[in-house]
């Protein structure tokens, strides 16, 4: 007898899965057959998803709320769709896109239309992901141009830095001794020296 499954994915701990869970409750999917991952959609290395796929068998039905809940990588979405529908013989229904329902149109035309819609939506999902990354990069660049600092603040120079720097430049002490006198690794001391000498 065929089973019904539901798959939920939220990309971070801040996202709420309730919208997807509520849609599945209306479909009376057994609670034990609802699988959820709190993980990025960049690939399919997700524990709950893998466990669900292992449990599913031919003629089972999988519901997902929207195509981006399945994933965000265009090629991988298409590959997973092929594995589920062609290799495992599972039907998939995307609730937000009624055209993506493999139970309908099992004939050649129905399959063809479904494949076209899937490819378009997968492409849109990945494009959105790329656009988000670009917006983030542009936002960071704009913030840097305004003088916003990213990362940890630089450690201040130790009180004895000028004296140690002077002794080191006069070859009274070695680089290692100078770094130890300032209580920092050699690389850090040398970086401080370059910054100090460029600003004085």
pLDDT digits over 33-91, tens only? 999 998 877 778 899 999 999 999 999 999 999 888 887 777 788 888 888 888 888 99
Phi, psi (deg, nearest 5) at residue 145: -65, -25
pLDDT class of 120 with cuts at 50, 70, 90 = confident
**Average pLDDT of the chain, as a whole number:** 82
pLDDT at 57: 94
Structure confidence at residue 137 (pLDDT) = 80
* Residue-level pLDDT at 200: 63
pLDDT for 150 equals 66
What SS3 state is found at 45?
Answer: coil
Q: What is the mean pLDDT of residues 95-105?
A: 80
**Residue 33 carries which DSSP code?**
G
pLDDT cut 90: percent of the chain above it: 20
Tell me the average pLDDT across 121-134.
Answer: 72
Please tell me the distance from the alpha carbon of residue 29 to that of residue 178, in angstroms, as a whole number. Answer: 69
Q: Which two tokens stand for residue 153?
A: 């603040």
Pick from 24-28, 93-97, 113-117, 184-188: least confident: 113-117
pLDDT of residue 50: 93
Question: What count of other Cβ atoms lies within 10 Å of the Cβ of residue 132?
Answer: 11
Burial (CB < 10 A; 0-12, 13-18, 19+), residue 39, is middle
Q: What is the pLDDT of residue 103?
A: 81
164 or 115, which is more confident?
164
Q: Give the residue with greater pLDDT, 88 vs 128.
A: 88
Q: What pLDDT does residue 109 have?
A: 56
Residue range 15-41: mean pLDDT, rounded: 86
Q: Where are the alpha helices (DSSP H) in 32-185?
A: 47-55, 67-70, 74-82, 108-145, 161-169, 175-182
Q: Residue 200 contacts by C-beta under 8 Å, 6 or more apart in sequence?
A: none
Which residues are catalytically annotated? 11
What's the pTM value of the predicted model, to 2 decimals? Answer: 0.58
What is the β-pairing status of strands 61-64 and 34-38? Answer: unpaired
């Amino acid at each position: 007898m065929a089973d019904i499954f539901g798959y939920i994915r939220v990309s971070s701990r801040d996202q709420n899965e309730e919208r997807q869970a509520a849609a599945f409750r209306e479909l009376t999917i057994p609670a034990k057959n609802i699988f959820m991952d709190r993980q990025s959609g960049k690939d399919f290395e997700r524990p709950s998803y893998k466990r669900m796929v292992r449990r599913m068998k031919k003629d089972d039905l999988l519901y997902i709320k929207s195509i981006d809940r399945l994933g965000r990588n265009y090629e991988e979405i298409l590959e997973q769709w092929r594995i589920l529908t062609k290799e495992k013989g599972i039907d998939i229904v995307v609730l937000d896109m009624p055209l993506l329902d493999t139970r309908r149109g099992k004939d050649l035309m129905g399959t063809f239309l479904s494949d076209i819609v899937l490819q378009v939506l997968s492409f849109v999902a990945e494009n959105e992901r790329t656009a988000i990354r670009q917006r983030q990069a542009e936002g960071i660049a704009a913030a840097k141009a305004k003088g916003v600092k990213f990362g940890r603040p630089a450690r201040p120079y130790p009180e004895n830095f000028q004296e140690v720097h002077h002794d080191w430049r006069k070859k009274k002490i070695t680089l290692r001794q100078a770094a130890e006198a300032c209580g920092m690794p050699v690389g850090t001391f040398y970086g401080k020296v370059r910054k100090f000498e460029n600003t004085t």
